[in-house]
Amino acid sequence: MLKRALSLYIFIIFTFMAFLGRIVYIQRSDYSSASQLGSNRTVTVGEKRGAIYDRNYVPLTDSEKSLLAVVTPCPGSYKYLKGKLQDDLLREKIESGYPFICQVDEEINNEYIRTFSVSERYSGENLAVHLTGYCDSTGQTGITGIERAFNAYLSENSGRLTVTFDVDAVGRVLAGMNKTVNDSGYSSKAGVVLSIDSNVQKIAEEALENSRIKSGCAIVMHVHTGELLAMASVPEFDRSNVAASLSQDNSPLVNKALTAYSVGSVFKPIVAAAALENGYDPKEKYECKGEITIGDRSFSCYNHKAHGKVDMTGALESSCNTYFINLIMKADTDLLLSLCRQMGFGQKDILASTIAGASGTLPQEKDLKIKGNLANLAFGQGSLTATPLQIAKAYHTLATGNYIEPKLIMGLTDDMGLMTKEPEKTPFKLLSDETVITMRKMLLSVTEKGAAKKAHSDLVSLAGKTGTAQSGIYSDEREILRTWFAGFFPANNPHYIVVVMNENGSGGNTDCAPVFKAICERMVGN
């Protein structure tokens, strides 16, 4: 009896153990299947920040595209990619069983391969690199320009494009399973819209590239709105290798348009405008003997050339220093300095939160009590410095009679590309209509009859003034000269202000006037 009971007990134990083993097997089998079906591998196709656009929504970043193919590793993929990749490499990737990405030169879309057009943040063809700026090595933090000024907004509107595959426990793609495309903000149109016009910016950059200017800038500003249509600075820098630019000549990372320099004779029209506002007769003549003595100092015209009897128009045409020294000695200095301050001299131009022009230096009343300092100011020398952007604002006033703040930011776009606009800039009157008409005529005469004939055009009437300023900086015993041309067009009904500056030149007429002319004529031609 005991033996039979023991046998029954052992049978029950074995039956229970078999049942328990079956349960464990089923649970493990189900878990393994769930693992195979639930595990996945995600491949990142592209990542991007919020965009930077020109005024016409043309991308200034992310403008260059490349085709990337996301490949399911299987024999079917091989025949479509054969010849597009090195054969050994292609076979290795397919045999690995892991999904992969490769660049292709044409679209391939089928059950094995999906092609995507992916943008590159920067490329060699990007425009306005000094304005748009660049990011750190992670691509996530703006270091300069718009990238820095709007870093938070551009980062908030970052996106990613991925493809997800179902894989087995070791990460190999499961045969017959679908892949899922995930667009997490990658197609968003959110970004920053600038006033820059890509066509005009390209014209300015190409005009500088084809000139003798190795270090300098060009600015184009819209007369009616103050919007900056172009701000080009040379040399440019390579955003893919910023470190290399640090050791290069001519400071490629510096935006020359926002840097203060000695201005020279482009300042003379401002002295003339102040005198006209004070009731000075522009037809009154002065005899230039090539040199003038003020106190114990002697000042001369270029090469000590005597211009003879000249009125205000003749003095601008010949860029006569002694005429303007004589004029400023009789002028109301307080009126001149007040006009300069209202034009923005001596004050920073804030274009965005971290993008600002230098304030430059405007002499104070106490400084100008010294006659030699006042004489230097008459032809834009001495302690006076200004940025090319400040000169553009001043010539806007000469052309229109109004002061307007320059505008770079048009607004921000949302995911759908709808823009919230920045407020319009409001101009205010500085010069009388009579003074404006006189200045337009005189500055037109400078290009048609005067020392700026290289700025004369048969295509459109151009008005402006050259400048050649001593910098007080020497290289190989030669003083470095800042050369300029500033003006507007059409002369009698100005629509655009254009300023060109060469950081190390020989003369405004030879260096900058041809660039000014090239920009204006190409803008008219477009």
Two tokens at 461? 């009437």
Mean pLDDT score, 249-257: 95
Candidate CATH numbers 3.40.50.620, 3.40.710.10, 1.10.3720.10, 3.40.50.720; the one for domain 198-525: 3.40.710.10
Q: Which long-range contacts (CB under 8 A, 24 or more apart) does 344-351 make?
A: 344/390, 344/393, 344/394, 344/403, 344/405, 345/384, 345/386, 345/390, 345/394, 349/258, 349/387, 349/389, 349/390, 349/393, 349/405, 349/406, 351/228, 351/406, 351/407, 351/408, 351/409
Quote the CA–CA distance of 410 and 37 in Å, as a whole number.
50
Enter the pTM of the model: 0.89
Mean pLDDT of 505-509: 96
Give φ, ψ of 124 to 5 degrees. -65, -20
| Paired residues of 497 in beta bridges | 221, 488
Determine the Cα–Cα distance for residues 170 and 172; give it in Å rounded to an integer.
6
Structure tokens at 505: 């030149």
Distances (CA, A) of 244 to 134, 145, 205, 214, 232: 14, 19, 21, 18, 20
**What architecture is domain 41-79+97-194?**
Alpha-Beta Complex (3.90)
Grade residue 22 by pLDDT with cuts at 50, 70 and 90.
very low
Higher pLDDT, 5 or 433: 433
- Same-fold call for 41-79+97-194 versus 198-525: no
Q: Evaluate whether 154 touches 142 at the Cβ level (below 8 Å).
A: yes
Closest-CA residue to 71 (of 100, 104, 110): 100
Average pLDDT, the chain: 91
Cα–Cα distance, 31 to 169 (Å, whole number): 11
What is the pLDDT averaged over residues 452-480?
95
| Angle, CA of 502, 503 and 506, to the nearest 5° | 65
Q: Is the pLDDT of residue 512 over 90?
A: yes
Q: Per-residue pLDDT averaged across 333-346, rounded?
A: 97
Pair of tokens at residue 91: 């076979």
pLDDT at 28: 38
The alpha-carbon radius of gyration of the chain (Å, integer) is 34
At 525, is the pLDDT very low, low, confident or very high (cuts 50, 70, 90)? confident
- 42-84: per-residue pLDDT in tens? 999 999 999 999 999 999 999 889 999 999 999 889 999 998 8
184-201: pLDDT as tens digits = 999 999 999 999 999 999
Contact 305, 322 (CB under 8 A): no
Domain extents for the chain?
41-79+97-194, 198-525
Read off the pLDDT of each residue in 176-184 and give the average, rounded to a whole number.
Answer: 85
> Given a cut of 60, is residue 26 above it in pLDDT?
no
Tokens representing 69 are 């193919």
Residue 4 binned pLDDT confidence (cut-offs 50, 70, 90): low
Least confident of 239-253, 352-366, 419-433, 454-468: 239-253
Phi, psi of 18 (to 5 degrees): -65, -40
- State the pairing for strand pair 478-489/159-166: unpaired
**pLDDT value of residue 330:** 92
Q: Which residue has the higher pLDDT, 168 or 82?
A: 82
pLDDT at position 64? 87
